[in-house]
Structure 1
Amino acid sequence: MPTAKPRVLVLGGTGFVGRHFVKYLVDKDLASKIRVADKQLPKTAYLSEEFLNIYENNPIVEFKQANLSNPTHIKKAFEDTTGPYQFVVNLAAETRYGQEEATYKQMIFDISINCAKEALNYLSSIEKYVEVSTAQVYDSGSKASKETDKIAPWTNQAKFKAQAEDELKKLSPELSQKLVILRPSIIYGPADLNGLTPRITCACTYTLTKDKMKFLWSGDLCINTVHVRDVARALWHVYMNTKSTGTLVYNLSDKNQTDQKKINEIFEQIFGIETGFFGTLLSQAAKLNMKSAAETANENHMNPWSEMIKQSGIKFTPLSPYIDKELLYNNSLSVDGSLIEKDTGFNYEHPKVTKDLIEEQIKYFKNLNLFPDFTKISK
């Protein structure tokens, strides 16, 4: 049985998912101690006041600065004179698109494997080790991918996530008995930088240009989603509700079967803009030189975004409407997230993307003065 109030080690714990997981543990009084190991300090991680207060003032939360691409720092992250950890979650990974393969190898594969190797020294105490991967490891297609479906990563991030998954399963029979791998679809919610936020910032620029926003391909291109609070809940849920019977793999994806059209309809409601799609013929033409097409599209968005940032008196923001060419191909992210419900009793509290949830995401950044003012276009 899991420890009633375990000591929890969160690797990569000041990131997007990490902050929500730490908050969930604190709000529900689930852990006796939470150590957060990350190279990024809480003060520089764009934490809202609510999150920052947890990291700086909650007595059970300890932040330990650690560059987890350095094995020496990994060792220090696990070492604790007050006792070992029962629950370890690895959220440390490069989440930006468009990086070099060498960067992904170091910041995804190497980190995952080296952290797990260090965990081998503590297996007598560790009850569950959770690795957060991505649903982009599946072959793209409109049919919803299940956990047993073909692995054919279509982003460089996913390529190294898939390699890390394979290696983790082979590291140690004892570790594999305690290993759970989660494969979320696009994670969105407050503090999201790389999920739906680039599309949100793109849409916002059209309140300035007044043009029609058109994406490549068609409205039924799947971009399945899961809310960050459901991801945080799932991390704890698999600790409490899975047995050690070998490596377990679960998708995380809501009930919305989110596609481009559903997201654009929400943007129309929030920003008052008109949206559409280029369709297959024009998109296929763009595909022949996707690098050039991506550069043109990003330039069309970056210029008005910069103007809006300037008008709002924002000196710097990590938010950008830039969308890497990897994400502009006709790759459908369709994910079946039901197995975790059937196997463990998990439920999605946010089963669909809504206008209110996207507005909450925008509000998070506006409160930090990172999202510009905009005027909704009146029809």
Structure 2
Amino acid sequence: MAEPTKRACVLILGGTGFIGRNLVHYLVQNELVSKVRVVDKVPPLMAWLNANHTASFASPLVEFKQCNLINPGSVDAAFALDDGQFDYVFNLAAETKYGQTEPVYKEGIIRLSHNCSTTAASHKVKLYMEFSTGQMYSSEKTEEEDTKPVTEETKCEPWTQMAKHKLEVERDLENIPDLEYIIVRPAVVYGIGDRNSITPRLTIGAIYKYINEKMKMLWTKDLKMNTVHVDDLCRAIWHLCYHGKRGEIYNIVDKGDTDQGKISRLVSEIFDINFDFVGSLMSNMAKINMQHVVEDINDKHMAPWADACHRDGIASTPLNPFIDQELLYNKHLYLDGSKLELSCTFQF
């Protein structure tokens, strides 16, 4: 599909979140749209936007609507336009916190996404893009077993509760008549505005600098944690709007082949601290009582973090070093992005 000369009209659901705010900024700064409607429960003034993102949200091209998309009436309001309809709808709205209960995920992921996708089909939008996750594959292979990156066709065995519910959403999309959709499965997304992927590890690095101790981590340096910068993600999904095949799934991942060792080395260099890994043997012993181990880890980090914030006069911050148990499993996030690369017929 060739890129038109007319600028697109875009709806971003969950648009004040980490990826959403960066997507708004990308579309506005590159003059790619005639209109962006941002829908979220959290208004921009309460979303900890930085100066650049605040400026983009203040653009006359951007309209914000505060809606709870679990409510079908709110979804109808989000899609309603006085003149015309949206060309592209990006669904970034979902429950993104780890460690929530089954009912929370069913309502905040499955019900919400079904409301949005069926409404998109009824409005006959050109493309509805569902943001899923790369946590769909539960490999625990070690480096000796020649772990290979997984493709979109690899059998799904999601290893977080969030991913399990995202998979249900993916399957639901297949059964919605007249829906033109694409599913994207990003690797670990990092960049400006990140709070929950790489940033907690940076925060933990700052804590070990503060308490003057060596930073120790579960498993080994070879645990795959593939990444993609949020700016590259935004370029990739805009590319897919015009060049992606409808009804397909695309992994989005960079070429860094990032693993736990690389991330830990960078954190240690930034904060000038030492680090080490406890290894597979000790980690497997910890796995027997993982909940207790994770509670101890978080308890060790939270008090020094509160002390450091108090020392520097920080009364309120969106950052904290808490890491959920699901993110400490011995699960590789190792994606093959060649399908997206094959669709790249022009230079980003």
TM-score range, shorter chain: over 0.9
User: 3-state DSSP class of the match of 1:136?
Assistant: coil
Aligned residue number for residue 104 of structure 2? 103
Aligned residue number for residue 201 of structure 2? 199
Q: TM-score, normalised by structure 1?
A: 0.87
Q: Distance in 1 between matches of 2:129 and 2:315?
A: 38
Aligned residue number for residue 328 of structure 2? 328
User: 3-state DSSP class of the match of 1:32?
Assistant: strand
Q: Distance in 2 between matches of 1:197 and 1:102?
A: 28
User: 3-state DSSP class of the match of 1:171?
Assistant: coil
* Residue of structure 1 aligned with 2:175, choices 148, 170, 175: 170
Aligned residue number for residue 274 of structure 1? 274
RMSD, aligned CA: 1.4
Contact 1:140 1:154 in 2 (8 A): no
* Pairing of 1:302-313 with structure 2 (within 5 A): 302-313=302-313
User: 3-state DSSP class of the match of 1:255?
Assistant: coil
Aligned residue number for residue 254 of structure 1? 254
Offset from partner CA, 1:37-59 (integer Å, 9 cap, x none) = 11110000110121112212x11
C-alpha deviation, 1:346, in angstroms: 7.0
Contact 2:201 2:267 in 1 (8 A): no
Query: Quick one: which amino acid aligns to residue 128 of structure 1?
Result: L
Aligned residue number for residue 291 of structure 2? 291
Q: Distance in 2 between matches of 1:6 and 1:343?
A: 21
Contact 2:183 2:250 in 1 (8 A): yes
Offset from partner CA, 1:258-301 (integer Å, 9 cap, x none) = 11110011011100000110001110110000000001111111
Aligned residue number for residue 129 of structure 2? 130
Give unmatched runs, 5+ long, in structure 1: 350-379
C-alpha deviation, 1:317, in angstroms: 1.3
Aligned residue number for residue 337 of structure 1? 337
Query: Quick one: which amino acid aligns to residue 118 of structure 2?
Result: K
Q: Distance in 1 between matches of 2:318 and 2:303?
A: 15
Q: Distance in 2 between matches of 1:53 and 1:28?
A: 14
Query: Quick one: which amino acid aligns to residue 260 of structure 2?
Result: Q
Q: TM-score, normalised by structure 2?
A: 0.95
C-alpha deviation, 1:171, in angstroms: 1.1
C-alpha deviation, 1:117, in angstroms: 0.8
Contact 1:95 1:194 in 2 (8 A): no
Aligned residue number for residue 121 of structure 1? 122
* Residue of structure 2 aligned with 1:41, choices 29, 40, 43: 43
User: 3-state DSSP class of the match of 2:85?
Assistant: coil
Q: Distance in 2 between matches of 1:333 and 1:49?
A: 32
User: 3-state DSSP class of the match of 2:130?
Assistant: strand
Offset from partner CA, 1:225-267 (integer Å, 9 cap, x none) = 1111111111211112235xx4011001111111111001101
C-alpha deviation, 1:82, in angstroms: 2.6
Q: Distance in 1 between matches of 2:345 and 2:137?
A: 24
* Pairing of 1:117-266 with structure 2 (within 5 A): 117-123=118-124, 126-141=125-140, 142-172=147-177, 174-175=178-179, 178-243=180-245, 246-266=246-266
Percent of matched pairs sharing the same residue: 44
User: 3-state DSSP class of the match of 1:89?
Assistant: strand
Offset from partner CA, 1:124-182 (integer Å, 9 cap, x none) = xx21111110010123343211010010000001000000000011111x21xx21100
Query: Quick one: which amino acid aligns to residue 53 of structure 1?
Result: A
Query: Quick one: which amino acid aligns to residue 262 of structure 2?
Result: K
Q: Distance in 2 between matches of 1:345 and 1:166?
A: 29
Contact 1:221 1:260 in 2 (8 A): yes
Query: Quick one: which amino acid aligns to residue 331 of structure 1?
Result: K
C-alpha deviation, 1:26, in angstroms: 0.6
Bigger Cα displacement from structure 2, 139-148 vs 79-88: 139-148
Query: Quick one: which amino acid aligns to residue 272 of structure 1?
Result: D
Contact 1:6 1:86 in 2 (8 A): yes
User: 3-state DSSP class of the match of 1:52?
Assistant: helix
C-alpha deviation, 1:100, in angstroms: 1.1
C-alpha deviation, 1:68, in angstroms: 1.0
Aligned residue number for residue 143 of structure 2? none
C-alpha deviation, 1:83, in angstroms: 2.2
Contact 2:29 2:56 in 1 (8 A): no
Contact 2:127 2:181 in 1 (8 A): yes
User: 3-state DSSP class of the match of 2:115?
Assistant: helix
C-alpha deviation, 1:31, in angstroms: 0.5
Give unmatched runs, 5+ long, in structure 2: 141-146
Aligned residue number for residue 20 of structure 1? 22
User: 3-state DSSP class of the match of 2:310?
Assistant: helix
Query: Quick one: which amino acid aligns to residue 135 of structure 2?
Result: Q
Q: Distance in 2 between matches of 1:265 and 1:203?
A: 10
